[in-house]
Chain A
């Protein structure tokens, strides 16, 4: 659906050049929800704005549905933009138009007849659950309702892709959840491809299929959300998604005297493995002691993702055998200290 190759964006100002994006390669598949996460200033906003040329890339290629877009201008550019919906952090609604008028705006631009605009607007407001507010003005709505209007507006011309620029960052956690549910619903109902950027890992966990982690103007990691969260390959992902082990406050943990050998490991459970009685098996079969230092369970799109920091102690061979067992049953673990 969207294929970005070697994208680069450099801003020029009086004091020189600032590279906002460099060596960006990305592929978004049709019908998926693709998340781009990064901290402020990482370049994620620039990246999503390149996808509809609100920012013009300095070099590189962006293919949308096989069409190269970076050189588009005038009429062709406007045509492309009308086939991509976009929603924003601050909603950017027309304050002097009613809710219905806001939804009608992109249809007016597309040259839809007055009668069809009316029917379509009602249809869209029904989709986002705001039928009763069609005569209201944006100033009378809550943040969540405003974003719903913005979503209805973005969907008006049946876009191929919906771009979400920090769409939930200005909303409270509950409203965020309801907006994410709406996006997911639209994604399934309409088969719409969604690209979203965010700095909140909750958003990624809740609805994304794939995630790209962006840091310091580069993409440092791309993968399925489960992969990136359970086995983060980059330091940035570890920082964004979880406990790197070092951050768990274990430092003043004293080893018991008289123990021959001990090792601290972090085990990550995903999917079905989360349900297996691993610890009791280790204790019974290998005769090692297992001490739980830290535990956490997260849900990624409804699937459990567990994290456990254990201290295994006993004689060295038994501990090693126990580690072998963990590996055998396909659990990911990481040795924190021996």
Chain B
């Protein structure tokens, strides 16, 4: 028989977990794009034959990104604990998890943005150049608006990746649904709660992907 009391307790627990997860993921995605987007842009424009070619900067940035992406997230999480404490004053809880999530996601975002921006036809950029557009105008008025549908798909992929990362952050006291799955499901053998948690995560992932697809399709004028 289903116990109403337990159900209510679960509901409260999972509700808070869901809110924590969404809070971490949304905040982390926002900050990751704040930093990752410019890096992605720099990767593209410093490439050969682009609007501001610079072999050195391109190689340097590309190298740093590759190194950062090679570090397993769980290691990064622990390695930057001092930095996390410096930024948010604590290393426990959802807010504290945002710091490693952002650091981990920046190089990922940079590559996602790079891939999107490279979809633009070389001729379109040339046309803008031929009209006297500056590199900044080309970035702001041509490259980003023209590839926005693809960038938005990248945002949903990044957000979903961060849902996964946030579960790992949960393992070291970060809060959210991942934390619940480990504490109750794994340590206390509460399988039913673990399954509920996973179902919730599936729903969240589906939702994010659907919203991303919908928005991307809605704003894309290329195939209409």
Contact = CB atoms under 8 A, between A and B. Distances in A.
Contacts of B142: 94
B127 interface: yes
A52 B129 CA distance: 9
Interface stretch (A79-87, A126-134, A182-190, A237-245): A79-87
Contact of A54 (B129, B137, B141, B146): B129
Interface in B118-146: 121, 123-124, 126-134, 137, 141-142, 145-146
A279 B134 CA distance: 64
A139 B130 contact: no
A208 B224 CA distance: 37
Interface residues of A, number: 31
A150 B126 CA distance: 13
B134 A78 contact: yes
Q: Is the interface of B mostly helix, strand, loop or mixed?
A: helix
Nearest to A108: B141
A46 B146 CA distance: 27
A81 B132 contact: yes
Interface in A292-324: none
Interface residues of B, number: 25
A86 B127 contact: yes
B223 interface: yes
B148 interface: yes
Contact of A92 (B121, B137, B148): B121
B221 interface: yes
A150 B123 CA distance: 13
Contacts of A54: 126, 129-130
Given A88-B126, A96-B146, 15 more contacts: A54-B129, A78-B132, A78-B133, A78-B134, A79-B132, A88-B123, A92-B123, A92-B126, A94-B124, A94-B142, A95-B124, A95-B146, A96-B145, A108-B141, A109-B137
Interface of A: 52, 54, 78-82, 84, 86, 88, 90, 92-97, 105-106, 108-110, 137-140, 150, 153-154, 157, 163
11 contacts: A78-B134, A79-B132, A81-B130, A88-B123, A92-B124, A95-B124, A96-B148, A96-B222, A105-B128, A109-B133, A154-B131
CB-based closest 5 A-B pairs = A82-B132, A92-B127, A81-B132, A78-B132, A92-B123
